[in-house]
Amino acid sequence: LNTTATSPTFVSLLAGSGISLTATGNIIAISSNDALHYVESFLQTNTTDTVIAATTTPVLIAGTWEFGANTGFTQTSGGKLTYNGSDTAVLTVHASISIEPGSGNNNQDISVYVAKNGAVIAGTRISAVISNGAPQNLSLSTNQSFATSDYIELFVQNSTSTANLTVVRGLFGVD
């Protein structure tokens, strides 16, 4: 960066998440601001049914979530991921679940959603038709804005019947 030379040199730099740029005179300093936030939770061989009391009504996924890598979030074994950052940030929420209905229930139209602060986000809905004995994988990804204490969870719904659903395996995180 030299603006006074006979042939001036200009540089255009853009910092990403966790990086800051500072220009002083002819020097550009690149540094980490440690603002990266991420979290991951997982379910493995879960056998807890998510009780479906009414069709087309999203319900929080039942089961005990285990904790993975985490910085800037608080996790609960119930699957709640709470943002603890001080700055508002747009982060990517990702989830992948294997799900099946209870015994004897076939051709069930089911959906998975992300819920933020307890409210299901309709635009995150991913659906499939599933049958007992053949767990189906559903994955989703969405960008969401997080302010301090915002939290997210995963919900499922059965649009066919009140047959309970079991999320056998799942990965759920934010980065």
Q: Residue 120: which of 43, 56, 66 has the closest Cα?
A: 56
Which pLDDT band holds residue 17 (cuts at 50, 70, 90)?
low
Per-residue confidence band for 158, with pLDDT thresholds at 50, 70 and 90: very high
Residue 106 reports pLDDT greater than 70 = yes
Collect all residues with Cβ–Cβ distance below 8 Å to 29 and sequence separation of at least 6.
Answer: 21, 22, 23
Checking if the pLDDT of 175 tops 80, the result is yes
**Tens-digit pLDDT profile for residues 146-156:** 999 999 999 99
Higher pLDDT, 104 or 20: 104
Length of the chain: 175
Tell me the per-residue pLDDT of 46-101, one tens digit each, with 9 for 90 and over: 999 999 999 999 999 999 999 999 999 999 999 999 999 999 999 999 999 999 99
Two tokens, residue 15? 């910092």
Report DSSP state, residue 131: B
- Name the 3-class secondary structure at 124: helix
pTM value > 0.85: no
Average pLDDT over residues 108-125: 98
Instruction: Compute the distance between CA of residue 130 and CA of residue 63 in angstroms, rounded to an integer.
Output: 19
- pLDDT recorded at residue 164: 97
pLDDT over 70 at 131, yes or no? yes
Average pLDDT over residues 150-166: 98
**How far is the C-alpha of 120 from the C-alpha of 18, rounded, in Å?**
29
Distance CA 29, CA 71 (A): 25
Asked whether the predicted pLDDT for residue 134 surpasses 60, the reply is: yes
Q: Residue 33: CB partners within 8 Å, gap ≥ 6?
A: 18, 19, 20
